[in-house]
Amino acid sequence: MDKKLAESVLSIFKDCIFDGELTEYSFEEKILKYLPEDLNYDYHYGATKIVFILPDKNFVIKIPFSGRYKDKMIEINTKQGVKRKRISSYSKFTGAQSPMSVEGDEWNYCQVECDIYALAEEEAVEDFFAKTECIGFIHDYPIYVQEIAKIYEDIFYSCETEKTEYRKKYTEEDYEKIDSLCYNHNYDYFNKYWLCDAFKYYGEIKGEEFLQFIKNACVGDLHKANIGYIGDRPVIIDYSGFND
Ligand SMILES: Nc1ncnc2c1ncn2[C@@H]1O[C@H](COP(=O)(O)OP(=O)(O)OP(=O)(O)O)[C@@H](O)[C@H]1O
Ligand SMILES: [Mg+2]
């Protein structure tokens, strides 16, 4: 993304509170509350990121959560004896597994996407991934953009629409071919329809290189809300997994 656009995207968040702790429970108080009043936007979030969509833009803005709230049991001494109580406490992510990091206790799932994308470029399979890039920092907190895609789950919201749409497009042999390829090489057979689209769009050789790549780079959790299309191009939009 060019510098000017990156700066204007960053400026949207200039009044937000980035104090190092951001979770799915605090983004409303720390971010949404301080966005410009006239900003027209939509947002989604998952376990590890909040994602902003602006009208007529070919990118989304992704901000990583720093951790999450976890329940744990504590023991308290009372007059009646020891009682167990469930409390919820903040825990920073430690399992964001980047192929580039040596320490292995990373929290930033957006940076994992950047790193995997860079690795995919080295192996010439980057087109399978919606490109993620860091555009800068607000109070030392990193902000990312990613190519916008149509999410698989939003196109094929029911198994029925998925089946009827694809029954017209592919034969049982097409599915079986990919199925046996995945079975024989222990590749992840995560979504047979999307995989058929990918093999058709990129070709069988590239398709297999991609399956080998995601196996080596441990890219998983490829459910229907993490895959999609940019035009006709099948892409993965969430390739940082979840490991906490
Ligand atoms: N490139 C994109 N284009 C369009 N929508 C997107 C894009 N990236 C993310 N989204 C939307 O935001 C949601 C959350 O993004 P993402 O999957 O990256 O976050 P997450 O916190 O890692 O999710 P998960 O709960 O799967 O771990 C997606 O399911 C999707 O609806
Ligand atoms: Mg996701």
Nearest ligand, CA of residue 225? 1
CA of 47 to the centre of ligand 1 (A): 9
Cα–Cα nearest to 188, from 151, 145, 236: 236
Pocket of ligand 1, candidates 49, 57, 97, 108: which has the most ligand atoms within 8 Å of its Cβ, to mutate? 49
Q: Does ligand 1 come within 6 angstroms of the Cβ of 111?
A: no
Cα–Cα nearest to 63, from 92, 20, 5: 20
Counting from 1 in the atom list of ligand 1, the atom nearest the Cα of 65 is: 21
Give the model's pLDDT for residue 104: 64
In the structure, ligand 2 is a single-atom ion and the residues with CB under 5 Å from it are 46, 226, 238
CA of 128 to the centre of ligand 1 (A): 16
Nearest ligand, CA of residue 229? 1
Beta 42-45 vs 49-53: how paired, if at all? antiparallel
How many residues would you count in the chain? Answer: 244
CA of 43 to the centre of ligand 1 (A): 10
Cα–Cα nearest to 62, from 149, 142, 153: 142
CA of 74 to the centre of ligand 1 (A): 34
Beta 132-138 vs 141-147: how paired, if at all? antiparallel
Residue range 21-49, pLDDT digits in tens = 999 999 999 999 999 999 999 999 999 99
Q: Does ligand 1 come within 6 angstroms of the Cβ of 149?
A: yes
Per-residue buried b or exposed e for 137-161, using 16+ beta carbons within 10 Å of the residue's own CB? ebeebbbbbbbbbebbeeebeeeee
Nearest ligand, CA of residue 244? 1
pLDDT along the chain (244 residues), means of 10: 95 96 97 97 96 97 95 87 89 88 81 96 98 96 97 92 89 94 93 96 96 94 96 97 84
CA–CA distance, 67 with 90 (Å, rounded to integer)? 7
Assessment of whether the complete model's pTM goes beyond 0.95: no
CA–CA distance, 214 with 9 (Å, rounded to integer)? 31
Give the model's pLDDT for residue 157: 87
Would you give the end-to-end CA distance of the chain in angstroms?
A: 31
